[in-house]
Amino acid sequence: MLSYYNVPSTSNEPNIKFNSRIIGTNLIKPQRLDFAYFKFSDSINGMTLIKRLIALPGDKLQSINGEIYINDRNVDKDLNLRYSYKVHKNQAEHLYKDFKNDESFDIFNIEKDSCLVFLDKNYFKDKKLKLKRYFYVNDLSHVSKDISSKHKIWDSNNFGPIIVPEGKYFFLGDNRDNSLDSRFRGFVDYENILGTLILQF
């Protein structure tokens, strides 16, 4: 069966565009790194979300400085993901000129003279611009009880290794610093995965 959805979120930028439409099917089982749509196990009657399937049952899952490792392999390395960067306000104004026609481009004031901007990894390929990724240090960085540890202080950018339990799946948005996903809301049960993305337009 085919399903159609609008995407009113930037949480999967740059790979699923804000305000795009998608078609998916429940006839294809999602594989690791596929986009799939689902309901979080903590709100079965809630909103249907789409995120990238990162880890499957039995996988060894770890995040090191905001990069995800599955079975000791960095799965983020070859993906064009979006991250947050702290920049001076003057620099933010310059960046805004590059993205003024991009509805998904976000700037947030965080201090008197600095802003938070969200940029794709590919943006830096042909530029001399070097920015350091910004990591949140507040309550929003706390991980779900599904992946928390009683013995270590883990946050959304540094956790694990843990083994994904049987029947559980771990999903992330590609806009890694602006996505409410399995890091915060926990694993998704297999029966709550509704289908796999097959087309975006």
| 124-153 pLDDT per residue, tens | 887 777 898 999 876 557 899 999 988 788
pLDDT surpassing 80 at residue 194: yes
Asked if 19 and 73 sit in the same domain, the reply is: yes
Report the SS3 class of residue 55. strand
Q: Taking Cα atoms as reference points, which of 154, 149, 156 lies closest to residue 181?
A: 156
The predicted structure's pLDDT at residue 34: 98
- Residue recorded with tokens 């070097």: 130
132 in a structural domain: no
> For residue 144, what is the domain's CATH number?
2.10.109.10
Residue 19 to residues 2, 7, 16, Cα–Cα distance (Å): 19, 5, 9
Report the SS3 class of residue 177. coil
Final residue of a structural domain among 63, 94, 124:
124
70 in a structural domain: yes
Contact 149, 159 (CB under 8 A): yes
Asked if 13 and 73 sit in the same domain, the reply is: yes
CA distance 141 to 169: 20
- Structural domains in the chain (count): 2
CA distance 114 to 14: 24
Q: Which tokens go with 4?
A: 């159609």
Asked if 37 and 65 sit in the same domain, the reply is: yes
129 in a structural domain: no
| 79-100 pLDDT per residue, tens | 999 999 999 999 888 888 888 8
The predicted structure's pLDDT at residue 199: 96
Q: Taking Cα atoms as reference points, which of 169, 117, 112 lies closest to residue 10?
A: 117
| 31-75 pLDDT per residue, tens | 999 999 999 977 656 789 999 999 999 999 999 999 999 999 999
130 in a structural domain: no
Q: Which tokens go with 145?
A: 């009880």
CA distance 39 to 31: 17
Confidence band (pLDDT; 50, 70, 90) for 117? very high
Strand partners for 24 = 3, 197
The predicted structure's pLDDT at residue 45: 65
172 in a structural domain: yes
Asked if 93 and 74 sit in the same domain, the reply is: no
Domain span at residue 117?
Answer: 82-124
| Residue partners of 173: CB distance under 8 A and separation at least 6 | 11, 12, 51, 52, 179, 180, 181
| 172-192 pLDDT per residue, tens | 999 999 999 999 999 999 999
